[in-house]
Amino acid sequence: MGAIELEGLTKDYGEVVANDGVTFDVDRGEIFGYLGPNGAGKTTTIRMLLGLISPTAGTARLLGRDVTDEDQLLEAKRQLGYLPDSPAFDETATGRDVLDLRASITGDERSEELLELFQPPLDREIREYSRGNVQKLGLVTTFMHDPDVVILDEPTSGLDPLLQQRFAEFLRAERDRGVTVFFSSHILSEVRQLCDRVGIIRNGRLVTVEPVESLLDRSGKVVRLRSAEPISRADLEIEGVHDLEADADAAGSGTEYVFTFTGDVNELLAACREHRLLDLSIEEAPLEDVFMRFYDGDGADDGTDEPDRVAADTDARGDADV
Ligand SMILES: Nc1ncnc2c1ncn2[C@@H]1O[C@H](COP(=O)(O)OP(=O)(O)OP(=O)(O)O)[C@@H](O)[C@H]1O
């Protein structure tokens, strides 16, 4: 049983279908990133999972409980921590008051340890809190009852780099002790660093669910090579070469070739051996480019008629766009 199980989850607002048949599972003990451009439907999924809005169709289960059943939802929520994108606390309460109230409602297994880690100023009233301090207090309230599953909406917004790092280490340790983390983020470096798998949603429809590593792998590498003499296009018709650009006036001498490469690096190196290379670099494609393909509708099988660039690249590697 997955920690989160969504099956055909749909929310139809009439003018817009905010979630359209969203189906995926989040395993126990994994960090799952839920990504997509603004208005894609992330918050809608989260709100349905929390029982705040009801689905038009489909099912959502949290720790095996049907979230549309009030009793089952209540049971699931005891083991759930939730951090909204803008945590709202009583403005006139102090941080200490907020924690005392939370402790009386959800319990308190570990606030001491969390306070040491995130250090919100407990004696001040919330109205005097900065955005970052609200977020620190939110992290303490999310984890203080030691939940099995946490849902985090943009968890590091407002945190300084030191605290972001501390939070990342904390989250990995939580995952290692079996906690399931479902979080939405726009910070791609954070996604890369933290997530085991990602789900990407666009226009209410899920466009991919896969490990971050495989997403990067099949999106290819960026290859830059500089050759003393020009290389003919035919010589660069190697399986997996895409978007080839040549620049005869590259810095230094020779001609620079830049392309995305999804093929076998050994084959590329073998082909390069026939030329006098001045420079060669092979880098991971920038994460932004990888995600933008999906965000722009240029990336995956979403059931629409839009171009399917990554899949096409993978299927037709012999068909280099040179
Ligand atoms: N109550 C509502 N009534 C009508 N449309 C809504 C309602 N709530 C959300 N929507 C629409 O549903 C779509 C998905 O919104 P949602 O808030 O889930 O996106 P999101 O991915 O969380 O976006 P963001 O990253 O900007 O927070 C949007 O087009 C939004 O305008």
- Burial category of 300 from C-beta neighbours within 10 Å (exposed 0-12, middle 13-18, buried 19 and up): buried
Same domain, 85 and 148: yes
| Interval between CA 42 and ligand 1 midpoint (Å) | 8
Same domain, 195 and 223: no
Beta carbons within 10 angstroms of residue 102's beta carbon: 19
Residues with Cβ within 8 Å of 45's Cβ and at least 6 positions away in sequence, in order, are 6, 9, 19, 22, 34, 201
Q: Find, among 87, 43, 81, 85, the residue nearest to 62 by Cα.
A: 81
Same domain, 83 and 128: yes
In a domain, 128, yes or no: yes
Q: With a 6 A CB cut-off, is 48 part of the ligand 1 pocket? A: no
In a domain, 320, yes or no: no
What pLDDT shows up at residue 201?
A: 93
CATH number at 245 reads: 3.30.70.260
Same domain, 142 and 192: yes
CA–CA distances in Å: residue 220 to residues 41, 125, 309: 28, 50, 12
What pLDDT shows up at residue 318?
A: 29
Categorize the per-residue pLDDT at 175 as very low, low, confident or very high, splitting at 50, 70 and 90.
Answer: very high
| Interval between CA 9 and ligand 1 midpoint (Å) | 15
Q: With a 6 A CB cut-off, is 36 part of the ligand 1 pocket? A: yes
What pLDDT shows up at residue 220?
A: 81
Length of the chain: 322
In a domain, 46, yes or no: yes
Note the pLDDT tens digit of each residue in 259-283. 988 888 888 988 888 888 989 999 8
In a domain, 119, yes or no: yes
Mean residue pLDDT across the chain: 87
The domain boundary residue, chosen from 189, 215, 241: 215
Average pLDDT of span 213-224: 82
Nearest CA to ligand 1 atom 25: 38
In a domain, 321, yes or no: no
pTM of the model: 0.79
Same domain, 259 and 181: no
Same domain, 89 and 162: yes
In a domain, 122, yes or no: yes
Among 42, 48, 56, residue to substitute to test ligand 1 (most atoms within 8 Å of Cβ): 42
Same domain, 206 and 243: no
Note the pLDDT tens digit of each residue in 223-251. 999 998 888 888 888 888 888 898 876 56
The domain boundary residue, chosen from 168, 187, 215: 215
| Interval between CA 40 and ligand 1 midpoint (Å) | 7
Same domain, 189 and 232: no
DSSP 3-state assignment of 46? Answer: helix
Nearest CA to ligand 1 atom 18: 41
Average pLDDT of span 299-317: 36
What pLDDT shows up at residue 314?
A: 30
Same domain, 28 and 53: yes
Count CA atoms closer than 13 A to 99's CA, side-chain side: 24
b (16+ CB within 10 A) / e for 191-227: bbebbbbbbbbbbbbbbbbeebeebeeebbbbbbbbb
Q: With a 6 A CB cut-off, is 52 part of the ligand 1 pocket? A: no
**Minimum mean pLDDT range among 72-81, 103-112, 175-184, 186-195:** 186-195
For residue 312, which phi and psi values (nearest 5 degrees)? Answer: -60, -40
Asked whether residue 129 carries a pLDDT value surpassing 90, the answer given is: yes
Q: With a 6 A CB cut-off, is 46 part of the ligand 1 pocket? A: no
Same domain, 52 and 114: yes
CATH number at 38 reads: 3.40.50.300
| Interval between CA 164 and ligand 1 midpoint (Å) | 27
As for how many domains the chain has, the answer is 2
Same domain, 108 and 182: yes
Nearest CA to ligand 1 atom 17: 43
Q: Can you tell me which atom of ligand 1 is nearest the CA of 14?
A: 4
Average pLDDT of span 138-155: 96
Round to whole Å and give the CA distance between 120 and 130. Answer: 10
In a domain, 298, yes or no: yes
Q: Is the complex ipTM more than 0.95?
A: yes
Same domain, 87 and 224: no
What pLDDT shows up at residue 252?
A: 63
Note the pLDDT tens digit of each residue in 85-124. 889 999 999 999 999 999 999 999 999 999 999 999 999 9
In a domain, 163, yes or no: yes
| Interval between CA 152 and ligand 1 midpoint (Å) | 17
**Which domain does 89 fall in, by range?**
4-215
The domain boundary residue, chosen from 215, 230, 257: 215
